[in-house]
Amino acid sequence: MSETIYSQPYAVKIPPILVAKDRQVGHNPENELISRLHNRLEAEGIKLENMREFGFDIPVSREEQAEGKRGYEYWVQVPGFSYDIPGLQVESFKGGNYLALRIDNPFAEPCARIPEAWDRLVKYFEEQQITADDHHEAGVCLEEVSANQSMEVMTIYIRIKD
């Protein structure tokens, strides 16, 4: 696989933001979850342009795993410092310092490129003996998809100690 698909790992600070979030368990939970959350926010009049969006895997039961199901949580930034959206959980994400790696066109071969990116990031993390943020809370490992010069780009993140 071409080296130009992946950036070198780099440090970045994600600022605190307010996010609306939802989760889903299923065979391919991401697309339905993202669509549902986008539709709900747009129905509330929230413009999604220039809002950051993050997703990450969540644990599922052994029974769900045996059925081939996975869990996914998705966050969409909402404007302001507080927001009330009936039926949706909205909370502050504290942000923090992260080690990141960018993947160009991740969905061209998602089953190869995304796991390879995580392998590269974890390998760098271990080789450089970087200390992870050991808080057991959401947002330790994140994925963010955005557009960059007419292509989709995914950035993956692992939270590191401040």
Please report which helix (H) or strand (E) contains residue 152, including its range: strand 151-159
Domains in the chain, ordered, with CATH?
1-15+95-162 (no CATH), 17-93 (3.30.70)
The b-or-e profile of 113-132 (16+ CB within 10 A means b, else e) is: bbebbbebbbebbeeeeeee
- Per-residue pLDDT of 67-99, as tens digits, reads 999 999 999 999 876 667 788 889 899 999 999
Give the model's pLDDT for residue 79: 83
pLDDT above 90 covers a percentage of the chain that reads 64
- Per-residue pLDDT of 10-44, as tens digits, reads 999 999 999 999 999 999 999 999 999 999 999 98
The pTM of this model reads: 0.85
